[in-house]
Amino acid sequence: MKKILIALLAFLWVSTGMFAQPANSPRRDFWTADDPVFSVIATNGKIYLGGSFSAIGFGAAGGTTLSAEMGTPDLEMPTVTGTLNAAVSDGAGGWFVGGSFTAVGGTARNNLAHIRSDRTVTTSFNPNVNGPVHTLLLAGNVLYAGGAFTRFGVGAVAAPRTNLAALNPASGAVLALAPNPTGPVHALASFGSRLFIGGAFNQISSESRTNLAAIDAVTGAVTDWDPRPVGRVNAMAYANDELIVGGSFSAISGVARLNLAKVDPFTDTVSAWAPNPDGPVHAVLRAGSRIYVGGTFTNIASQPRRGFASLDPATGQNGFDFGVDGEVRTMASNGSRLFVGGAIHTFRRQPAFQRGGD
């Protein structure tokens, strides 16, 4: 069974006027370009394109799954009408997807949906969120959604939830948890009964917490853990009893750290690990013996790296230079391969889009 990965990428669709067929929408098995096409000629069974583009590939509006072996898109995935910000596997071949959208596969869905393993949209799962979803986390039998919203559902069944909610992943029903952080949530992580929440807020469950907090995942009670980063949190990863925090901050737990830090998940003590990237961090991932960091930076651990780095978990020093030129916003690993997505111009100094092998 092929392993697949949701690619959080938006591709530019070529105008339907290119296709000599009466369909009302573009063929999903046809190639598209990443920038304007100015001329098209069809001759001798071939189509020649001219324009100001640098790459062509299959169109995948909103997002799609890719074969982890070949990188080919799954053209049966339903089209997302809007922007896909987050995706998490349901553990059974399907996906929960969140973002800023109004439909999935032609079915009306506001900002949160479930796609089954047969690539159809689950009709019974319709939380109907009134604002964008930035991050999703499936922990046990609870789906957590973070973003910039105030309500799930409409009318008599509406449930007020501000920027963070817990849902039943089977039905989409909103659970009792309602910490209501005062600003948008961009990152979630969990360990045991603790839920770590990162974003741009100054209160949660009516307790003063700045941009990063830990709550009881069942009751919503805020723990004593309070690192108070000076700036926004964009990404988190929990591994080996460490919480790796990335974002746009200058200090955390009162210690100077630029955009990236390791924090003890129980005492909020900051470790000596200090790569100090010179720009915002959008994604962090612990995979194998490395910590991978993606963002909008040009220097990290006192060495030039553009948008992507592989760091030693103990020393914070750079490893292999992947030759990335661009902005990395999402990463995933299937154990043997590393997948990197974003606004990437080159990877391993070759034109993107490419798959990164670990």
For residue 353, cis peptide bond before it (omega within 30 degrees of 0): yes
Is residue 337 very low, low, confident or very high in pLDDT (cuts 50, 70, 90)?
A: confident
Q: What percent of the chain has pLDDT over 70?
A: 80
Asked whether residue 17 is domain-assigned, the answer is: yes
Asked whether residue 249 is domain-assigned, the answer is: no
- The pLDDT of residue 72 is 52
Give 106-112 contacts, CB < 8 A, sequence gap 24+: 106/78, 106/79, 107/78, 111/147, 111/149, 112/145, 112/172
Q: How many angstroms separate the CA atoms of 335 and 327, rounded?
A: 23
The number of angstroms, rounded, from the C-alpha of 302 to the middle of its chain's C-alpha atoms is 27
Identify the DSSP state of 17.
G
Asked whether residue 284 is domain-assigned, the answer is: no
What is the rounded average pLDDT for all residues in the chain? Answer: 84
Domain assignment of residue 5, given as a range: 1-77
Asked whether residue 55 is domain-assigned, the answer is: yes
In total, how many domains does the chain have? 1
pLDDT digits (tens, 9 = 90+) for 148-164: 999 999 877 899 999 99
Is residue 11 very low, low, confident or very high in pLDDT (cuts 50, 70, 90)?
A: very low
Q: How many angstroms separate the CA atoms of 309 and 294, rounded?
A: 7
Asked whether residue 64 is domain-assigned, the answer is: yes
Residue of 282, 295, 267 lying closest to 235 (CA atoms): 282
Q: Which residue has the higher pLDDT, 209 or 336?
A: 209
Q: Is the pLDDT of residue 29 over 70?
A: no
Is residue 13 very low, low, confident or very high in pLDDT (cuts 50, 70, 90)?
A: very low
Q: Is the pLDDT of residue 294 over 50?
A: yes
Burial of 339: CB neighbours in 10 Å, binned 0-12, 13-18, 19+: buried
Burial of 157: CB neighbours in 10 Å, binned 0-12, 13-18, 19+: exposed
CA torsion sign for 47, 48, 51, 52 is positive
Q: What is the mean pLDDT of residues 102-109?
A: 94
Q: DSSP H helical segments within the chain, as ranges?
A: none
Beta carbons within 8 Å of 257's beta carbon, 6+ residues apart: 249, 250, 251, 270, 274, 276
Asked whether residue 183 is domain-assigned, the answer is: no
Residue of 172, 177, 94, 87 lying closest to 137 (CA atoms): 87
The answer to whether the beta carbons of residues 220 and 186 sit under 8 Å apart is: no
Single pTM value for the model: 0.82
Q: What percent of the chain has pLDDT over 90?
A: 60
Is residue 323 very low, low, confident or very high in pLDDT (cuts 50, 70, 90)?
A: confident
Q: Which residue has the higher pLDDT, 36 or 296?
A: 296
Q: Write the single-letter amino acid at 158.
A: A
Beta carbons within 8 Å of 207's beta carbon, 6+ residues apart: 213, 222
The answer to whether the beta carbons of residues 307 and 281 sit under 8 Å apart is: no
Asked whether residue 59 is domain-assigned, the answer is: yes
pLDDT digits (tens, 9 = 90+) for 227-277: 999 999 999 999 888 999 999 999 999 999 999 999 999 999 999 999 999
- The pLDDT of residue 349 is 53
Q: Which range scores top for mean pLDDT: 51-65, 165-179, 343-357?
A: 165-179
Residue of 72, 65, 58 lying closest to 97 (CA atoms): 65
Q: What is the mean pLDDT of residues 118-129?
A: 95
Asked whether residue 143 is domain-assigned, the answer is: no
pLDDT digits (tens, 9 = 90+) for 45-104: 777 778 887 666 555 555 554 544 544 555 667 888 998 899 999 999 999 999 999 999
